[in-house]
């Protein structure tokens, strides 16, 4: 039996990619909708809802999934802290995969970034550079935000302390524990992320470059197939791929 999916954000780039990938997998998109459509007509026919809509559209879908016993996969990025808090109040009662990037390669990058940060220590200054197509609305990317969290946790930094989004003017010497984040936009770049560890006499760089959105769509479907068998709670692709230590 194919996995039955409600897809929110069906007309966007990722929504279209998920529909194409589903046609070649053991998944069925029962309903392909967008923010503003009435998802309640379809949710009881689906095992899992996948959200690639807009930040304001996620909370309604999360509440609907919770009320109808459906699992949830969230790929939408750009939520405000208030929106994230509202979503978090709901999704702990729902089997949920919530991540900014479903690529297998990017999630390996998360894992390697944590290992490198732990091994290299604070003598190696950490910077994140991300580049996406000119149409992307949020910055930095959800993936860059996750990389930032990986580095912050590995170095024991308090949330949002020591984070520098770009630099301009006389900013002074770089503090030891600062983490720089830089967003570049242009052309039709699908997604590129680089983590730099610049130390005394050497530099280590970890990078991932995406050439086709199909890798994200396939990852989202993989997450959907995995999460329907999980207990309520919030997971990410590290859990889906078994990359937890």
| pLDDT tens by residue, 168-191 | 999 999 988 899 999 999 999 999
Tens digit of each residue's pLDDT, the chain (245 residues): 899 999 999 999 899 999 999 999 999 999 999 978 999 999 999 999 999 999 999 999 999 999 999 999 999 988 999 999 999 999 999 999 999 889 999 999 999 999 999 999 989 999 999 999 999 999 999 899 989 999 999 998 877 678 899 999 999 999 888 999 999 999 999 999 999 999 999 999 999 999 988 999 999 999 999 999 999 999 999 899 998 77
Which 3 state secondary structure label does DSSP give 157? coil
| Domains in the chain, CATH or no CATH each | 3-102+213-240 (3.40.50.720), 104-210 (3.30.360.10)
Exposed, middle or buried, 165 (CB in 10 Å: 0-12/13-18/19+)? middle
Residue 203 DSSP one-character state: E
Quote the radius of gyration of the chain (alpha carbons, Å).
19
Strands 191-199 and 202-210: antiparallel
Residues 138, 77 contacting (CB under 8 angstroms): yes
- pLDDT for the residue numbered 177: 87
The closest alpha carbon to 68, from 19, 6, 2, belongs to 6
Active site residue ranges: 132, 136
Helices and strands in the chain, H and E counts: 7, 11
The closest alpha carbon to 97, from 241, 198, 207, belongs to 241
Taking the C-alpha atoms of residue 128 and residue 185, their distance in angstroms, rounded to an integer, is 14
pTM score, whole prediction: 0.79
Residues 102, 223 contacting (CB under 8 angstroms): yes
Q: What token pair was written down for 192?
A: 């590129």
- pLDDT for the residue numbered 213: 87
The vertex-10 CA angle with 8 and 15, nearest 5°, equals: 100
- pLDDT for the residue numbered 101: 85
């Amino acid at each position: 039996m194919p996995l039955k999916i409600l897809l929110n954000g069906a007309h966007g780039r990722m929504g279209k990619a998920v529909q194409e990938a589903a046609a070649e997998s053991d998944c069925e998109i029962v309903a392909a909708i967008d923010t503003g459509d009435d998802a309640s007509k379809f949710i009881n026919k689906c095992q899992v809802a996948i959200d690639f809509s807009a930040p304001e559209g996620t909370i309604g879908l999360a509440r609907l999934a919770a009320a109808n016993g459906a699992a949830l996969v969230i790929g939408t990025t750009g939520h405000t802290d208030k929106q994230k808090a509202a979503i978090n109040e709901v999704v702990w009662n729902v089997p949920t995969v919530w991540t900014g990037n479903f690529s297998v390669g990017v999630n390996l990058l998360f894992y390697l970034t944590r290992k490198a940060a732990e091994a290299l220590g604070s003598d190696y200054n950490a910077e994140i550079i991300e580049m996406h197509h000119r149409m992307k609305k949020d910055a930095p990317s959800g993936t860059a935000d996750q990389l930032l969290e990986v580095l912050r946790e590995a170095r024991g930094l308090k949330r949002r302390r020591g984070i520098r989004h770009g630099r301009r003017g006389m900013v002074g010497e770089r503090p030891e524990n600062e983490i720089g984040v830089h967003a570049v936009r242009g052309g039709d770049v699908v997604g590129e992320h680089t983590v730099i560890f610049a130390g005394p006499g050497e530099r280590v760089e970890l990078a991932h470059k995406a050439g086709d959105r199909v890798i994200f769509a396939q990852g989202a479907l993989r997450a959907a197939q995995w999460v329907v068998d999980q207990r309520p709670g919030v997971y990410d692709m590290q859990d889906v791929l078994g990359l937890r230590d």
